[in-house]
Amino acid sequence: MKFGTLPRIATALVALTATATLLGVQAQETAAARITLEEAKTAMDAAEAEARSNGWNLAFVIADADGVPIYARRMDGVPTRNQNIAMNKINTVITSGMDTPDYVAAVEAGRVEEIEGALPYDGGLILRRGGQVVGAFSASGARGHEDAQAVRAGMAAIGL
């Protein structure tokens, strides 16, 4: 082996190790930036329990940070339109980056443009972990503040 080969191999190994470490950190950040299916199930169960304890029949949607549904549930007797409204709340939350009542207030104050098709109902909440958006959670079927109460119960169950 030539004298100059060993330092080049050492340099390559250091660069490879640094790259692998960086990729590992990025993978951890990506994983942290998404609500898991297990968290979604736990949150959904807690939200449904809150709804049942108050006599509300609700439709729920939990989506990832891109607005793609991870978990949805429609309690017995809830019309399909409520599932559609819950999904609309998800779209409003993800597109605006705000909880639905905050979005409505921002539109009314002229701070943001209205999102086409957005519904001005409470019950759509953004999910953040460490300040980073990891998803959205919504409910529909009761009054807006009741939908939000059920969602908050679900969020509390997973510490968000």
Report the pLDDT value the prediction gives residue 51, as an integer from 0 to 100: 98
| Mutual angle of helices 144-157 and 37-53, in 10-degree steps | 130
Report the pLDDT value the prediction gives residue 33, as an integer from 0 to 100: 73
Q: How many CB atoms lie within 10 A of CB 83?
A: 19
Residue 72: beta bridge partners?
Answer: 61
Report the pLDDT value the prediction gives residue 21, as an integer from 0 to 100: 46
Report the pLDDT value the prediction gives residue 145, as an integer from 0 to 100: 97
Q: Is the pLDDT of residue 2 over 60?
A: no
What mean pLDDT is predicted for residues 20-29? 45
Which of these, 63, 71, 39, lies nearest to 135 by C-alpha position?
63
Q: What are the two backbone dihedrals, phi and then psi, of residue 134, each rounded to the nearest 5 degrees?
A: -115, -5
Q: Please tell me the distance from the alpha carbon of residue 26 to that of residue 131, in angstroms, as a whole number.
A: 17
pLDDT for 79-128, tens place per residue? 999 999 999 999 999 999 999 999 999 999 999 999 998 988 999 999 99
**Secondary structure (3-state) at 145:** helix
In angstroms, the Cα distances linking 45 to 24, 52, 98 are 33, 10, 24
pTM over 0.85: no
Q: Is the pLDDT of residue 7 over 60?
A: no
Q: In terms of DSSP H, where are the helices of the chain?
A: 5-32, 37-53, 80-96, 100-108, 144-157
pLDDT for 27-59, tens place per residue? 444 445 789 999 999 999 999 999 999 999 999
Report the pLDDT value the prediction gives residue 27, as an integer from 0 to 100: 42
In the chain, where the domains are located: 1-32, 34-157
CATH placement of domain 34-157: 3.30.450.150
